[in-house]
Amino acid sequence: MLYAILCYDSEDIVSSWTKQEDDVAMEKLGAVEAKLTREGRLGPVARLLPTTSATTLRKGRDTMVLDGPFAETKEQLLGFFMVECESLDQAIETARELGAASMSKGAYEIRPVAIFRPGMPMTVQP
């Protein structure tokens, strides 16, 4: 089954890291990514730009386009990993590995991914 592991943390804290601190964090995460790649389980990975670069389309009676992220929270979505896992337990273990490589507290949200192709029924990979 394909899982999205969404990385949440304080953007203020992460953006205050020195280049050296950021490089260390990326090196540690890179080691986990390399392991997942060797196992053939790693899909797309993205580090999102700061929320100051975000634009939100809010639906309602009148559709509005707003500068900034959708929600005002203490933690922001900073990026994600797409990982193939045999079970939720394996996805949790993978998120633990990513968390152990991280230099901050934050959170990792784990969600199964359904594949959607226009004109075809949505499928969940076993």
Cα four-point dihedral sign 89, 44, 57, 67? positive
Split the chain (126 residues) into runs of 10 and give each run's mean pLDDT: 91 91 92 96 92 78 70 78 94 92 84 78 62
Among residues 88, 71, 83, 74, the alpha carbon closest in space to that of 39 is found at: 83
In the structure encoding, which two tokens stand for residue 90, read together? Answer: 């394996």
The pair of structure tokens assigned to 24 is 């260390």
Instruction: Compute the half-sphere exposure of residue 110: CA atoms within 13 Å on the CB side of its CA.
Output: 19
Fold for 2-124, please state it. Alpha-Beta Plaits (3.30.70)
27-63 pLDDT tens trace:
999 999 999 999 999 999 999 888 888 887 777 778 7
Q: What angle do CA 91, 92, 98 make, to 5 degrees?
A: 90
> Which pLDDT does position 115 carry in this prediction?
74
Give me the pLDDT at residue 29, please.
Answer: 93
Per-residue pLDDT at 123: 65
In the chain, where the domains are located: 2-124
- Cα first-last separation, the chain: 5
pLDDT at 125: 58
